[in-house]
A and B are shown apart, each in its own frame.
Chain A
Amino acid sequence: MGSIELVGIVSMAVAGLTIAIGTIAPALGEARALDRALNSMAQQPDMSNTITRTLFVGLAMVESTAIYCLVVALILIFANPFWNHVVAAAGG
């Protein structure tokens, strides 16, 4: 197996694993935050404006970890520096 196949296989597999593993924790965390927010809103409907605002800001922060995973996966798929290097070396 040449290095070009190896780089391709590793890039694709790691891109998939990045998204698959990397989104587990943010998903659980966001679900938890949403759960608590809905509970609080049911208990105190007057505060729902404040709770919603805080929820959005907090969710965005939690979500940024998942977004990092997405960006890494996209770089591996579309802008992979190792792939470009191997292709350039093979193409001569």
Chain B
Amino acid sequence: MPFGPDSVVLWAWGPVRVNLTLAGTWVLMVVLVTGSWLVTRRISADVEPSRWQLLLELVVEQMREQVREAGAKDPDPYLAFVGTLFLFIAGASVLGIVPGYTPPTASLSTTAALAATVFLAIPAFAVMARGWREYLRDYVRPTPLMLPFHVVGELSRTLALAVRLFGNIMSGQLIAAIIVSVVPFLFPAVLQGFGLLIGLIQAYVFGMLALVYVLSAVRTHAAERPVEPPHVNNVLDTE
């Protein structure tokens, strides 16, 4: 049994190998980019916009609302990064119900790459907001003794992000494959629906965690914790 879509090589030419993960990522990129291009090509401020424009506006507006509720006063700087992560993972899961399509997120290389972007984005956003000195000072707060714990925490949460998404999506695929060989009728369809739900929740969780990590690094220490939404911070503090 192949362990993930990485081992399925569709096309090889010398050292260049196109495996199922890569092909799935390309298909997803084409769908997302051409889809939004087609919709925004004829964008209008009419009283009655087109159906697809309405859908896109709904998605973007909802994402802005979620980012704002997580504690960002101005959601726009984070929307591009977090929204792209969410749309990519959610799109992969939704396309997964198309027969023959394996979500690229079922491969550890994709999820590790996504987690690596989060790992790099955290210091990038923090440095942009507060400068190098303030960001680096967070590592030795409250005492320099905490430095190794901060570093380990940074690495382990990146690992957790990657493995969580990979484990969820891949196990869904694997269980579906096993069930098909045992009970071929009806039951796999139910399982596919369940997998769709899991995939969307994981997309939400991945985006939300990325946002929470970035916001916690951007926010100046303790001085201006927002009073209004302390809920997400609690989750973060225990991590």
Contact = CB atoms under 8 A, between A and B. Distances in A.
Given A57-B212, A61-B239, A67 B231 contact: no
Contacts of B3: 74, 78-79
B159 to A, nearest CB: 9
B1 A58 contact: no
Interface residues of A, number: 19
Interface string B203-233: 0110011001000000000000000010110
Contacts of B208: 53, 56-57
Contacts of A30: none
Contacts of B1: 78
Contact of B163 (A53, A54, A58, A71): A71
B235 A50 contact: no
Nearest to B70: A53
Contacts, number: 58
A12 to B, nearest CB: 15
Interface in A29-62: 49-51, 53-54, 56-58, 60-61
B171 interface: yes
Interface in A71-88: 71, 74, 78-79
A60 B209 contact: yes
Contacts of A4: none
A61 B175 CA distance: 22
A61 B168 contact: no
Contacts of B121: none
A68 B159 CA distance: 10
Interface string B182-220: 000000000000000000011011001100100000000
A64 interface: yes
Contact of B234 (A54, A71, A74, A78): A54
Given A50-B231, A54-B231, A64 B160 contact: yes
Nearest to B174: A74
Given A63-B164, A70-B171, A71-B167, A58 B235 contact: yes
B164 A67 contact: yes
A60 B167 contact: no
A44 to B, nearest CB: 12
Given A50-B229, A74-B174, A78-B1, A57 B235 contact: yes
7 contacts: A50-B229, A53-B231, A53-B232, A57-B208, A61-B239, A64-B160, A67-B167
Interface of A: 49-51, 53-54, 56-58, 60-61, 63-64, 67-68, 70-71, 74, 78-79
